[in-house]
A and B are shown apart, each in its own frame.
Chain A
Amino acid sequence: MKVELTVNGKDITADVEDRMLLVHFLRDVADLTATNIGCETTSCGACTVLLDGESVKSCTVLAAQADGHSITTLEGLASDSGEMHPVQKAFHTEHGLQCGYCTPGMVMAIVSLLKENPSPTEADVRSGLEGNICRCTGYHNIVQAALVAAASNTVSSNTVSSNTVSSNTVSSNTVSSNTVSSNTVSSNTEAGK
């Protein structure tokens, strides 16, 4: 069947098998290989992408179901000038990745999570990532990266919109970024250096 998808802002039309999974469309038709396959039971989240801005596991969406929709993959996250998205940056500074295989899915899941909840607690992040498995990091630095990205978004949105956003929003953002920094201190405690 013929499908037409917008992937990272680019329109792609192709004739595909009815049963083709979205992840195979992205990898084999669009030739975007950042999105990885880690299972076939919607359990691990390695294949997470955004469909019309919301996270989906592309191993259990048919390309046909995505017909006419817009997909964002890891490759489409950085700005046009090549500057990394705050979540990508936070993964780098917080050492949120090791082998890199779960990373594209993790990053996309966190982008989606922060869109729904811009100021999550650690518990919010942990429950939000329950569907994404990582075997390298023990999740510690992934959670940390999500909180740091949230804090950096908070800072930038405060800067941009301090005149228009209600003061309630701003103050609750401030509180949550304090929470983040105290987490940083306690979880990185090191003695005996």
Chain B
Amino acid sequence: MSILGTRVIRTEDPRLLTSGGVYVDDLREPELAGAVRATFVRSPVAHALITGIDTSEALAQPGVVAVLTVADMTDMPDQVPPEPLPEGSPPPEGPMPLGGVWSEPLLAVDRVRFVGEPVALVLTDSTYQGEDAAELVSVEYDQLTAVPSIDAALTGETLLFPEAGTNVCTKGLGDISDDSIFDGCEVIVEGDVLNQRVAVVPMEGRSTAAAWVNGKLTVWTSTQNAQIARLILTAIGLPPDAIRVVAPDVGGGFGAKIGVDRESIIVAWAAKHTGRPVRWVETRSENLVSMTQGRAQQHHVKIGGSKDGHIKAYRLDVVQDTGAYPRMSGFLPMLTNLMAPGVYDIPAVQAAYKVVVTDGTPVAAYRGAGRPEAAATIERAVDWYAAEAGLDPAVVRKLNFIRPEQFPFVTKTGAPYDTGDYESALDKVLDAAGYAELRAEQQRRRDAGDTKQLGIGLASYVEITAADAGAGETAKVEVHDDGTATVYTGSSAHGQGHHTAFAMIVTAELGIPMDKIEVIHGDTDLIPDGIGTYASRSLQLGGSAVQKAAIEVKDEAAKRAAELFEAAEADVVLDAETGIWHIAGDPDKSLTWSQVASAADEGLIVANVRFTADRPTFPFGSQLSLVEVDVETGKVTLLRHVTADDAGPVLNPILLDGQRHGGIAQGAAQALCEEILYDDDGNPLTSTLADYAAITAAELPSFELLRSETPTPVNPMGVKGIGEAGTIGATPAVHNAVIDAVSHLGVRHIDMPMTPERVWTAIQQGGAKKVSAE
């Protein structure tokens, strides 16, 4: 029996559980001996011109090695201006920064645009000295009116980039002006849905150490992709082969550690500039104002259909708050537009977006990155529509699902769904949760006027994983003459269990036991070419690459074995259970991997591959959330969360479920408690974990997980991504559940996060005015 699909506990764990991981701050590499501490001086104001910087008092402090500002960056290469777009060409939709007038500096030049923007860098012998000296760097700010919100940005009264002449940095191409798609709809509901700004909060914040030795820069950084980080670090004026990037243990990423941020580029430059090794480890209060944040979209939505539950038309208009610098251009809302209609076969769909700059922390990828926003809104809209039509939300979903026989299916927004069986996923959660009984209990409590009302929320989702499938992933597999194997992957682990998963794949193909397989990632000297981990791509691209390399190794080994057996290659077989080579029909003759590899050149059999897929995959599922709402206080208690997720065949159920658990918690957190807030002057109000309500164990139940396995034809293992699915389904399931609990009191919508205050207020008002039905 193959090891694939079985429960294998992680090979990573014993080290992490006994001596702890080795994160950037734990590195004791000889090159980092005597490393100075980097402390950033950050803007305390949201929007201002810098009129002067005086570093003299800080420089005089004990232990201060240097205080660096943009004026010291004379050894940096000039920034290459972006290619001008031809007259009349559409705005760029790609993920790259826009450049030009929208460029993000490294250290601030003459203007700051968000609280937390780096203005100067203090290098000291110790951490405490850095904090002391940073306080003494005197920066004069001439404060400007802040642009603290989407609404403020859209007025255009204050411009963050005056040369641009607008706060709208890019727009999608969708046309949403034709209202005739709603002609003939008997039930139409229209309203606003806020997808609030949230913090990513990996438990390890960002951290980077750098050493400049003999003309080569080595950078250790907490990243999801060492190779992309290396490409970004060439900004300091070094070619890629003069830079080595190492990703040591990484304490969570969730999208916000794709590549590296400006701070890491500055730290790398500082090491080269001063000739001293430098280490920077951000504090949580830095992290909560300067690591990129997620979501931050305002939606206007309209849905229409027949009285009997058939959805005819859907329109989604997105405004993305990209924060102070458009790091990802229009990429996030482009994905939101692409996934707008979700799991439904809707005859007419319109979607558009625009991206505005504000005085907020820059927004980039966060677990789901544009897709959770799409699911959150279509799933709210379907509940609005079901409520207005007086139909059960489960029934309306089933009436409108894309049917299994319709796949492959291209949505009206152009998403090419591979495979799916949406109704069986929903049926699974309804059965497991006991939907009919829950509805009966809900009715009983409503009839009795109980203080604690029950809410049942449904969400059926589909999402896109490995959107950049064509970029693929690299793998190298080596079998050595001692019978051990080494796997080099371009994918990059930060908690997902790559080492266990990829070793399982090699074991399944080659029969070499797990404890004789080493998996290596995140070192550009060893793995110069790779993409890394994001967009739930690791198993389907990185794992497929490992499998492809293992198969090539096996094919090559068969030739060596045939020579040793003096047999035809076609007669040589590998027993993948035992890792023993045989001649077919002659069990007496056998060879071990050690013997076969010893016969190869240099005692090594190796395959170096890149696996690419021709299109993304679309995992799906349904989630049911059961909540209790105290109608006197507005307090929400999440009682149960039942999900049926389908990401194709399962490699290792504990890794699969671990991804789902974490995703559900982060999704529920957005619905219930997490939100980044600014005051009218752009000051962040949630810059410590005492203010930002990161969800805890006390607010969550254990989750009830079911699954199905619908393979995709896109890769040989048939697998899809699971890293983000939990988040994408959980937010609308919990959101819908809370509103369902109080819908009989006239409440139609409550914006997230559904804090007791918001829920209580909505109950008092007996419904939100924003939702209008025709």
Q: Which of A1-51 contact B (CB under 8 A)?
A: 17, 19-20, 24, 27, 31, 33-44, 46
Q: Which of A79-116 contact B (CB under 8 A)?
A: 84, 88, 91-93, 95, 97-104, 107
B250 contact set on A, CB distance < 8 A: 99
> CB-CB contacts of B563-603 with A at 8 A, as 1s and 0s?
00000000000000000000000000000000000000000
- Assess A144 versus B702: contact at CB under 8 Å? Given A17-B128, A137-B658: yes
A191 contact set on B, CB distance < 8 A: 428, 432, 644, 706-707
| Interface status of A132 (Cβ within 8 A of chain B) | yes
> CB-CB contacts of B232-253 with A at 8 A, as 1s and 0s?
0000000000000000011110
For A20, A42, A84, A139, the residue with the greatest tally of chain B CB atoms inside 10 Å of its CB is A139
| Interface status of A117 (Cβ within 8 A of chain B) | no
Determine the distance from Cα of A30 to Cα of B497 in the docked complex, in whole angstroms. 30
A39 contact set on B, CB distance < 8 A: 284, 688-689
**Smallest CB-CB separation from A74: which chain B residue?**
B20
- Assess A126 versus B252: contact at CB under 8 Å? Given A107-B17, A190-B705, A191-B707: no
> CB-CB contacts of B676-706 with A at 8 A, as 1s and 0s?
0000000000001110001011101011111
Q: Which of A129-169 contact B (CB under 8 A)?
A: 129-144
Q: Chain A's interface: helix, strand, loop or mixed, by majority? A: loop
Contact A126 B697 (CB under 8 A): yes
Contact A36 B23 (CB under 8 A): yes
**Smallest CB-CB separation from A187: which chain B residue?**
B702
**Smallest CB-CB separation from B496: which chain A residue?**
A98
| Interface status of A171 (Cβ within 8 A of chain B) | no
Range of interface residues on A (Cβ < 8 Å): 35 or more
B658 contact set on A, CB distance < 8 A: 95, 98, 136-137, 141
Q: Tell me how far the C-beta of B680 lies from the nearest C-beta in chain A, rounded to whole angstroms.
A: 25
Q: Tell me how far the C-beta of A95 lies from the nearest C-beta in chain B, rounded to whole angstroms.
A: 4
**Smallest CB-CB separation from B726: which chain A residue?**
A138
Q: Tell me how far the C-beta of B538 lies from the nearest C-beta in chain A, rounded to whole angstroms.
A: 13
Q: Tell me how far the C-beta of A107 lies from the nearest C-beta in chain B, rounded to whole angstroms.
A: 7
**Smallest CB-CB separation from B667: which chain A residue?**
A138
Q: Which of B1-53 contact A (CB under 8 A)?
A: 9-10, 12-14, 16-23, 25-26, 28
- Assess A99 versus B689: contact at CB under 8 Å? Given A34-B19, A129-B697, A137-B658: no
Q: Tell me how far the C-beta of B285 lies from the nearest C-beta in chain A, rounded to whole angstroms.
A: 7
- Assess A92 versus B21: contact at CB under 8 Å? Given A38-B284, A100-B495, A191-B432: no
Selected from A37, A78, A139, A186, the residue in CB contact (under 8 A) with B697 is: A139
Q: Tell me how far the C-beta of A47 lies from the nearest C-beta in chain B, rounded to whole angstroms.
A: 11
Contact A103 B9 (CB under 8 A): no
Determine the distance from Cα of A30 to Cα of B28 in the docked complex, in whole angstroms. 13
B700 contact set on A, CB distance < 8 A: 126, 138-140
A19 contact set on B, CB distance < 8 A: 128
B696 contact set on A, CB distance < 8 A: 129-133, 139
> CB-CB contacts of B698-720 with A at 8 A, as 1s and 0s?
10101111111100000000000
- Assess A135 versus B203: contact at CB under 8 Å? Given A74-B18, A98-B495, A98-B496: yes
Q: Tell me how far the C-beta of A109 lies from the nearest C-beta in chain B, rounded to whole angstroms.
A: 10
> CB-CB contacts of B508-539 with A at 8 A, as 1s and 0s?
00000000000000000000000000000000
| Interface status of B654 (Cβ within 8 A of chain A) | yes
Determine the distance from Cα of A187 to Cα of B705 in the docked complex, in whole angstroms. 7
A102 contact set on B, CB distance < 8 A: 203
Q: Tell me how far the C-beta of B21 lies from the nearest C-beta in chain A, rounded to whole angstroms.
A: 4
For A24, A27, A36, A129, the residue with the greatest tally of chain B CB atoms inside 10 Å of its CB is A36
**Smallest CB-CB separation from B692: which chain A residue?**
A43
Contact B661 A92 (CB under 8 A): no
- Assess A136 versus B688: contact at CB under 8 Å? Given A33-B22, A127-B698: no
- Assess A101 versus B18: contact at CB under 8 Å? Given A133-B696, A137-B661: no
Contact A44 B128 (CB under 8 A): no
Selected from B18, B655, B662, B697, the residue in CB contact (under 8 A) with A135 is: B662
Contact A138 B494 (CB under 8 A): no
Determine the distance from Cα of A138 to Cα of B23 in the docked complex, in whole angstroms. 22
**Smallest CB-CB separation from A88: which chain B residue?**
B17
**Smallest CB-CB separation from A17: which chain B residue?**
B128
| Interface status of B666 (Cβ within 8 A of chain A) | yes
6 CB-based A-B contacts, threshold 8 Å: A40-B284, A43-B688, A43-B694, A95-B655, A101-B21, A136-B203
Query: Other than the known A41-B284, A91-B17, A127-B698, what 17 A-B pairs have Cβ atoms closer than 8 Å?
Result: A36-B203, A38-B204, A75-B18, A78-B18, A91-B13, A99-B250, A99-B494, A100-B251, A129-B698, A136-B203, A136-B662, A137-B665, A138-B664, A138-B666, A140-B665, A189-B706, A192-B428
The 9 A-B pairs at the shortest CB distance, nearest first, are namely: A34-B20, A101-B251, A138-B665, A99-B495, A98-B495, A43-B689, A138-B661, A100-B16, A33-B26
A interface residues with partner B (beta carbon < 8 Å) = 17, 19-20, 24, 27, 31, 33-44, 46, 74-75, 77-78, 84, 88, 91-93, 95, 97-104, 107, 122, 125-127, 129-144, 183, 186-193
